[in-house]
Amino acid sequence: MRAVKGDQKTRIALTLNGRKLAAEAEPRLLLSDFLRHGLGATGTHVGCEHGVCGACTVLIDGVAVRSCLTLAVQAEGREVRTVESLAAPDGALNPLQAAFRDHHALQCGFCTPGILMSFTDFLARNPQPSEAQIREVLSGHLCRCTGYANIVEAIKEVASSSHAPRSEG
Amino acid sequence: MAESSTTTKIRRKEDASLLSGRGRYADDLPVPVGTLYAHVVRSPHAHADIVRIDARRALAHDGVWAVLTGEDVRKLSDPFLAAVKTPVQQWSLAVERVRYVGEPAALVVAESRYVAEDAAELVEIEYAPLPAVIDPVAACAKSAPLLHPQAGTNEVSVREFRYGDTAAAFARADRRIAMTTTFPRLSFTPIECYVVVARHNAAGGSYDVTANFQGPFSMHPVMARALRVKGPKLRLRIPPDSGGSFGIKLSVFPYIVLMALAARVTGRPVKWVEDRIEHLVAASSGPNRVTQIEAALTNDGCVLALRLDQLEDYGAFLRAPMPGPLYRMQGAVTGAYDIAHVDVINRVVLTNKMPASLIRGFGGPQLYLALERLMQRIAVELDLDPLEVIRRNLIAGEKFPYRAAAGALYDSGDYARAVEIATGDGRLDELKRRRAAARAQGRRYGIGFAAIVEPAMSNMGYLSTLMSKEAREKAGPKSGAVSMATVNIDPLGAVTVTADVTVQGQSHETVLAQIVAKALGLRPDDVEVVLEMDTAKDQWSIAAGTYSSRFASGTAVAAHMAAVQMREKLKAIAAKQLNVLPADVELSGGKIRSRSNPDNALPFGRVAATSHWSPGLLPESMAPALSETAAWTPQELEPPSRDDRINTSLTYGFVFDMCGVEIDPVSYQVRVDRYVSMHDAGRILNVTIAGGQIRGSFAQGVAAALYEEFAYNEEGAFLTGTFADYLVPTVSEIPEVEILHYESPSPLTPLGAKGLAEGNCMSTPACIANAIADALGVADVTLPATPRRIHALLERAGATGKR
C-alpha cells in the first residue's frame, strides 16, 4: 500500500468499467465523489453518505460496496464497476435492467443504480436465490417511490429465468 | 368493476436512461468553470439569540471566499412573503435569533465542498440560549416562550367556520362522541437531497439558478421579491430528473435565495448540495396536528354534525404556501360522509422545530386520522359494526355531483358500491376468519377500515379561506388553477411536448406521450416529451409544478387539449391536400387520411411539416400549425363564498381500505397481515403507473403509521438525525397490498381522470390505527405505533402479558 499525505492531492488510478482512468484527489475524498466529480461517472448516486440508503453501491473487484463509505484511494489499482457498465454499447438493456423496466420497478430512478449493482454482484454468486434471499439483499437499500413490490418481482423474474446478468461489462 | 379502455401496459419512456446511469439529476449537470461550493453552518440550539458571529478565522482559511451571516442577508434581501400576514419575518439565514435546531445561521463559500466544511468549523457563533417550546398545545399557553415576540403569540392564525346549523344538530342528537388525535411530524425523505447552483450577473442585475425545486411556482415571485428583482431577473431552471420529492422539494426555495445571494457576494457561481444529516434536521417536515373532534349522533350511528378543532404546528416559521395542509381539505372536511352540519376551528401555532411545509397527502392524513378514528370509536361506543357505521354515513351514489357542507363539489362516485366490491369476494370474511382464529389462540389481532375522499388539482384560492370575508373582499377574489401544455411540430413533422410539471418519478413523460399520441393517431414512441423547466422560456403559471395530484386532472388535460387543437389544424391542412372536407379527415396509424376513402392518405409527418416548409399552402387565415399551447382553467374552482364555503379541488376520488394487523406478543411490533385498498380515481390513464403510484403512497402510509417520526426532546434537541434513528421502511417492513379499482369518470375533465397518488398517505395511517385499536381494545392510538408505544398502551391497560 502506498503512503499518502493527508493534505496533498495524489494521483489515483483505477479501472472503471473496463477503462483505465486516473485523476488527482485528496486522500480524504470519498469514492462516490471521485467517481462522480473526478471521473464523470454520475450514474452512481449519493443518498445519505452514511451507508444506510445504498444508492451509491458500486462493485470493487466484483464485490458490492457502498462508495460513500469508501475512500477513493482504497480503490487505487482496483477494478470498479458502476451502473454505466450494465447496458450494451448500443444501449440495449441487460436482463436485470430490462426486468426493472418491464415490472415498473423504478419511478424517480435515483436509488435504482445502487440496487442494480447490489444484485449484479448477488445474482452472479447466487443465480437462483429464494424470494427471502432477494428481500434480505434488497433490505440494504432504501427506495421512497415504489414500495419495493415491483423491485422484488423484477429480480424474481431474472432469478427464475435462465439468463443470469452479465458478470463482466 | 369497470375496466378502462386505456389501461394498456406500456413501457415507460423514462426507464432506459435511468437504468443506464444516464439520468440528468441536479448534481449530475456540468457547472461553470470557477464555481464555488457552499456549506451551511447550522444552529445547535432550539432557541437562542445570536450574540456575535466571528468569521475571521474561517475567512483566513485557504480557499475560503466568503462567509455570509444574517446581517448580510438582511442588507441584500427582503424577508420572504408569507400567506398569513403577521409581524413574523423570515430570511434565508437566521437574523438575530435562531428558532430551531439546524436553522441556517451562516454560509461558508469556498473553492470546494470539503474546504467549505473545514472552514465552517472555524466560524464562531456565540449564542444566548432561550427557553424553547416544542409541544403545540403548550405553545398556545399564555406563559409559553414566544418565538416571535413581535407577534405577541405563538398561535398566529385562528379562524372559526360554521357550515350549516351544527349547534341545533348537537342539541337534537341522541349521543355525542368525542376524541382527540395527534398526527406526528414526518417527511418522506426523497433519496436525492436539495441541490442549488446559482449565478449572478452583476451587469444585468439578474440571477440564473438551477435547482431541484418541485413547485408550486407561486414561490417564484416570493423568491424574486426576496432578491429584490422583478420576476424575469430570476431565471429558474429545473433539471429533467429529480430523485423524488413528495412535497419536500418545495422547501429548497430559501436555499435558492441564499445561494443566489452568495453568488452575488462572491461574483462566482455557487453550488450547494445538501447532505442527508442536513436534510433530516432542517429540510422540511409535514406539520403535526392535534385534532379535537366530536360527533352528534343518532343511536343507530348516523352522524348529524361534526365539530373539529384543528391545531396545526408549523414549526418555527410559517412559510408560503403554508398553512396549506390546514386548508387544502377545508371544503372536504366531512370526508366521504353525508354530514350537513360542521363547525371547524383552524389554529396555526409556531414551535421551536424545523418549519413544516408540503408533503404528500397534504392535510389529508391529519384530517382522516381524526375522522376515521372517530368512526371506529362511534362503532365501539354504540356497539355497532364499524363497517356498518361507515356504510350508514357514506354519501349515496344518487347524490353525485354532491356539494359537501363546507363547499367541495364531489364530481362523481359510488362509494357504497366500491366498498361492496372491496369487502366482497370473501375478502372481509377472510379477515374476520383470521381475526377469530388468532383471538381463539389468545393472540392480539384487529381489523381496521378507512373511507376517504382524495382531492386533486387544488383551487389556488383555497388559502384565501383563512382570511375573513372582509379581508378577502379587500384583497380581491383568488380562485382557480391553470394547467398548461404545448405540442410542437418540427421540420420533419416530429412531435414534441412540453408541460408545466416538474419531474420526480411520476412517469409524466410516458403518460403525456400516450395522451398526445392518441389524439394525433401516432404511437407513444413517436412523441418526445421534454419536461425540464426554464422560467425564462417555458409557459407557466403560479400553479405550475408537481403537487396536490394536479397532473391527471390538470396537466394531462391541457396536453390533451393542445393535441386536439393541433389535430384540428392538421385536419384542415390535410383536407386541402387530400381534396376532401376537413370533417372527412382522420388521423390514424401515422397517417392523415380520408375517412370515406382511406387510400387517399398522406404520412402524418408530411402534413405536419407543411407549416415549416410551405406555409403558403395553409388554408386561408390559418396560423401555422407549429406549436399549440392549451391552458386548462376549470370553472368549478371558484373563490370562497361569502359564508366561507370553498371548492378546494377540482376532482375528488374515493379510497376504501381495510386491513388486519397482529401485535407481536414479545416484541410488540405491529405486523400488517392483510391489506386491501380500493381506489376510485375516475378513468385510469395508465394502469401500471397507477399501481406504482398507489404502492408508493401505501408504503409511505405504512411508514407514517408505524415507523417514521421526527422526534425532539422537551428542550428541542433533534433526536432523529440519521437514517439509523429516523426509520425509513425497507422491503422487510412493507406488507403486500391488494389493489382494486372502480372507475367513476369525472364529468368535469375531458379525460375523466382524477388524482390517485396521495390517497394511501391519507387512508393507510387511519386504517392501521383503527386495526390497532381493534386489536388492543383501546381508544388512544398514537402514531407511529412503535413497539414502545404499543407496550406502553398495554401497560396502561394492565395487559402486557407478563408471564
Among B15, B115, B187, B191, most A C-beta atoms within 10 A, so best to mutate, is B191
- Which pLDDT score, from 0 to 100, does residue B216 have? 96
Among A26, A43, A48, the residue with its CB nearest the CB of B22 is: A43
Nearest residue on chain B to A110, alpha-carbon basis: B243
Find residues 17-76 of chain A whose CB sits inside 8 Å of chain B: 26, 28-29, 36, 41-50, 52-53, 55
Is there a domain that residue B170 lies in? Answer: no
Angle (deg, nearest 10), helices A112-125 and A131-138: 140
Q: Which of residues 98-157 of A touch B (CB under 8 A)?
A: 100-102, 104, 106-113, 116, 135-136, 138-152
Q: Where are the alpha helices (H) located in chain A, listed in sequence order? A: 31-33, 95-102, 112-125, 131-138, 149-160
- Residue B362, pLDDT above cutoff 70: yes
From chain B, pick out residues whose CB is under 8 angstroms from the CB of A47. 191-193, 243, 276
Closest CB from B15, B19, B192 relative to A110: B192
Peptide bond connecting B323 to the previous residue in cis, omega within 30 degrees of 0: yes
Query: How many angstroms away from the CA of A102 is the closest CA of chain B?
Result: 7
Q: How many domains does chain B have?
A: 3
Contacts of A69 in chain B (CB under 8 A): none
Predicted pLDDT of residue B802 = 46
User: Which of B21, B189, B699 is nearest residue A84 as measured by Cβ atoms?
Assistant: B21
In this predicted structure, what is the pLDDT of residue B1?
Answer: 36
Partner-chain residue, chosen from A52, A144, A149, that has the shortest CB–CB distance to B246? A144
H or E element, residue B380: helix B364-382
Interface test with B, best of A145, A146, A151, A152 (most B CBs within 10 A): A145
Q: Tell me: do B308 and B449 sit in the same domain.
A: yes
Q: How far apart are CA B650 and CA B409, in angstroms?
A: 8
Residue in A112, A145, A149 closest to B736 by CB: A149
**Confidence check: pLDDT of B628 > 80:** yes
Contact flag B18-A106 (C-beta cutoff 8 Å): yes
SS3 sequence, B438-451? HHHCCCEEEEEEEE
Nearest to A83 among B21, B276, B724 (CB): B21
∠ at Cα B636 (B632, B637), nearest 5°?
75
Closest of B28, B78, B362 to residue B195, by C-alpha: B28
Residue B217 has pLDDT above 90, yes or no: yes
Answer whether residue B2 shows pLDDT above 60. Answer: no
Superfamily of domain A95-160: [2Fe-2S]-binding domain (1.10.150.120)
pLDDT tens digits, B95-132 = 999 999 999 999 999 999 999 999 999 999 999 999 99
For residue B523, what are the CA distances in angstroms to B283, B514, B526? Answer: 41, 8, 5
Task: Please tell me the CATH code under which domain A10-82 is placed.
Answer: 3.10.20.30
Give mean pLDDT, residues B238-259: 98
Whether the upstream peptide bond of residue A165 has omega within 30° of 0, thus cis, is no
Determine how β-strand B36-42 pairs with β-strand B270-273.
Answer: parallel
Q: What is the mean pLDDT of residues B223-228?
A: 98
pLDDT-derived band at A162 (thresholds 50, 70, 90) equals low
Amino acid letter at B539? Q
Q: Which of B577, B599, B632 is the C-terminal boundary of a domain? A: B632
First CA to last CA distance, chain B: 50
End-of-domain residue from the set B578, B601, B632: B632
Distance from CA of B190 to the nearest CA of A (A): 6
Chain B positions in Cβ-Cβ contact with residue A142 (cut-off 8 Å): 191, 723, 728, 730
* pLDDT single digits (tens) B341-356: 999 999 999 999 999 9
Cis peptide before B216 (omega within 30 of 0): yes
Element (H, E) at B383: none
Instruction: Please state, as a whole number, how many other Cβ atoms lie within 10 Å of the Cβ of residue B494.
Output: 16
pLDDT at res. B227: 98
Is A144 within 8 Å of B732 when comparing Cβ atoms?
A: no
Residue A169 pLDDT > 70, yes or no? no
Of B111, B118, B120, which is closest to residue B36 (Cα–Cα)? B111
The per-residue pLDDT of chain A, averaged, comes to: 94
Looking at the partner chain, which of A42, A110, A142 has a beta carbon nearest the beta carbon of B730? A142
The answer to whether the Cβ–Cβ distance between B730 and A141 falls below 8 Å is yes
Torsion, CA B758, CA B760, CA B764, CA B765, rounded to 10:
-10
Coil vs helix vs strand at B379: helix
Cell of B106: 451562516
- Bigger pLDDT: B1 vs B116: B116
- What is the distance between the alpha carbons of residues A72 and A12, in angstroms, rounded to a whole number? 7
Closest CA to B308 of B343, B340, B332: B343
Distances, alpha carbon A42 to alpha carbons A37, B460, B682, in Å: 7, 38, 40
Q: How far apart are CA A152 and CA B773, in angstroms?
A: 31
Helix (H) or strand (E) holding B58: helix B56-60
Q: Which residue has the cell 396545526?
A: B312
Query: How far apart are the C-alpha atoms of B371 and B337, rounded to whole Å?
Result: 10
Q: Which residues of B touch A49 (CB under 8 A)?
A: 275-277
Whether B20 is covered by a domain: the verdict is: yes
CATH number of the domain encompassing residue B214: 3.90.1170.50
The answer for residues whose C-beta is within 8 angstroms of residue B798's C-beta and 6 or more apart is none
pLDDT of amino acid B147? 98
Q: What is d(CA B477, CA B461) in angstroms, rounded to the nearest whole number? A: 8
Helix (H) or strand (E) holding B435: helix B427-440
Classify strands B234-238 and B402-403 as parallel, antiparallel or unpaired.
Answer: unpaired
Residues B235 and B379 in one domain: no
Q: Which backbone phi and psi does B30 adopt, to 5 degrees? A: -65, 150
Contacts of B504 in chain A (CB under 8 A): 108
Q: What is the mean pLDDT of residues B216-242?
A: 98
Residue B40: predicted pLDDT: 98
- Is A82's pLDDT higher than 80? yes
The alpha-carbon gap from A99 to the nearest alpha carbon of chain B, in Å, equals 10
Distance CA B249, CA A2 (A): 43
The CATH number linked to B781 is 3.30.365.10
The set of cell numbers assigned to A122 is 448477488
Name the more confident of B565 and B799.
Answer: B565
Distance CA B332, CA B243 (A): 31
Range of the domain at B197: 15-130+192-243+248-283
Q: How many CB pairs under 8 A join A and B?
A: 175
Query: Using the beta-carbon criterion (under 8 Å), do B20 and A143 form an inter-chain contact?
Result: no
**Which 8-state DSSP code applies to residue A84?**
G
Domain borders along chain A are: 10-82, 95-160
Residue pointed to by grid coordinates 372536511? B333
Vertex B327 angle, CA B326 and B331, to 5°: 130
Q: Crossing angle of helices B219-226/B253-266, nearest 10°? A: 30
Q: Does A49 sit within 8 Å of B730, measured CB to CB?
A: no
* Predicted confidence band of residue A3 (pLDDT cuts 50, 70, 90): confident
Helix (H, G, I), strand (E, B) or coil at B367: helix
Identify the weakest region by mean pLDDT among A98-112, B748-762, B788-802: B788-802
Average pLDDT over residues B354-376: 98
Task: Pick the closest to residue B744 from B387, B332, B514, B416 (CA basis).
Answer: B416
Q: Could you report the predicted ipTM of this complex, rounded to two decimals? A: 0.96
User: Is B243's CB within 8 Å of A141's CB?
Assistant: no
Of the given ranges (A4-8, B178-182, B431-435), which has the lowest mean pLDDT? Answer: A4-8
Among B344, B341, B338, B342, smallest CA distance to B302 is for: B338
What pLDDT was estimated at residue B122?
A: 98
pLDDT of residue B798: 79
d(CA B493, CA B734): 47
Q: How far is A2 from chain B (nearest CA, A)?
A: 23
Predicted local distance difference test score (pLDDT) of residue B801? 52
Q: B219 and B200, same structural domain?
A: yes
Kindly report the three-state secondary structure assignment for every residue of B570-633.
HHHHHHHHHCCCHHHEEEECCEEEECCCCCCEEEHHHHHCHHHHCHHHCCCCCCCCCEEEEEEC
Q: pLDDT at position B4, please?
A: 39
DSSP state of B68: E
Q: Is pLDDT of B501 > 60?
A: yes
Over residues B655-677, the pLDDT tens digits come to: 999 999 999 999 999 999 999 99
Q: In this model, does residue A1 exceed pLDDT 70?
A: no
Query: Residue B696: which of A111, A116, A146 has the nearest Cβ?
Result: A146
Helical ranges in B126-266 per DSSP H: 136-139, 166-172, 219-226, 253-266
B517-564 per-position pLDDT tens digit: 999 999 999 999 999 999 999 999 999 999 999 999 999 999 999 999
Q: Does A169 touch chain B (CB under 8 A)?
A: no
Residues B613 and B656 both lie in one domain: no
Q: How far is B279 from chain A (nearest CA, A)?
A: 9
Range B8-15 average pLDDT: 82
* Residue B438 to chain A, least CA–CA distance (Å): 25
Q: What is the pLDDT of residues B686-711, one digit of tens each?
A: 999 999 999 999 999 999 999 999 99
Tens of pLDDT, residues B287-344: 999 999 999 999 999 999 999 999 999 999 999 999 999 999 999 999 999 999 999 9
How many C-beta atoms surround the C-beta of residue A161 within 10 A? 12
- Work out the pLDDT band at B9, boundaries 50, 70, 90: low
Q: Categorize the per-residue pLDDT at B422 as very low, low, confident or very high, splitting at 50, 70 and 90.
A: very high
Q: Tell me the backbone φ, ψ of residue A79, rounded to 5 degrees.
A: -100, 115
Give the C-alpha separation, B110 to B469, whole Å: 51
Kindly list the residues from chain B whose CB atom is less than 8 angstroms away from the CB atom of residue A80. Answer: none
Shared domain for B383 and B415, answered yes or no, is yes
| The three three-digit cell numbers of residue A65, written as one number | 460496496
Q: Name the band, by pLDDT with cuts 50, 70 and 90, for residue B475.
A: confident
How far is C-alpha B500 from the geometric centre of its chain's CA atoms?
Answer: 16
What is the average pLDDT across B392-416? 98
- Chain B residue nearest residue A133, CA to CA: B732
Could you please report the per-residue DSSP string of A11-35? EEEEEETTEEEEEEE-TT-BHHHII
Query: Is A139–B730 a contact, with Cβ atoms under 8 angstroms apart?
Result: yes
Residues with Cβ within 8 Å of residue B40, at least 6 apart in sequence:
B104, B106, B107, B120, B255, B258, B272, B278
| pLDDT tens by residue, B67-99 | 999 999 999 999 999 998 889 999 999 999 999
pLDDT in tens, B555-603: 999 999 999 999 999 999 999 999 999 999 999 999 999 999 999 999 9
Is B731 in contact with A148 (Cβ distance < 8 A)? yes
Hey, are the CB atoms on A45 and B25 less than 8 Å from each other?
Answer: yes
pLDDT at A5: 82
Asked, for residue B307, whether it belongs to a domain, the answer is: yes
CB-based contact B734:B702 (threshold 8 Å): yes
* Structural domain includes residue B182: no
Q: Which of B531, B731, B738, B760 to mutate to test the interface with A (most CBs of A within 10 A)?
A: B731
Q: Are residues B223 and B332 located together in one domain of the fold?
A: no
Flag whether pLDDT at B154 surpasses 80.
yes
Residues B517 and B614 in one domain: yes
Does residue B543 sit in the same domain as residue B620? yes
**Tens digits of residue pLDDT in A46-75:** 999 999 999 999 999 999 999 999 999 999
Choose one of B603, B632, B661: the last residue of a domain: B632
What are the cell numbers at B737? 397490498
Does the residue B176 lie in any domain?
Answer: no
Return mean pLDDT, chain B: 96
pLDDT of residue B3: 36
Q: What is the pLDDT of residues B15-49, one digit of tens each?
A: 999 999 999 999 999 999 999 999 999 999 999 99
Beta carbons of A108 and B11 less than 8 Å apart:
no
User: Which residues from A are below 8 Å from B686, CB to CB?
Assistant: none
In Å, how far is A40's CA from the nearest CA of chain B? 9
d(CA B785, CA B65): 48
Do B81 and B217 lie in one domain? The reply is yes
pLDDT bin (cut points 50, 70, 90) of residue A109 is very high
Instruction: Indicate the pairing of strand B155-163 with strand B341-349.
Output: antiparallel
Task: State yes or no: pLDDT of A166 exceeds 50.
Answer: no
Substitution target from B8, B11, B20 for chain A, most A beta carbons within 10 A: B20
Residue with cell 438575530: B96
What is the distance in angstroms between the Cα of B666 and the nearest Cα belonging to chain A?
22
Residue of A nearest to B31 (CA): A37
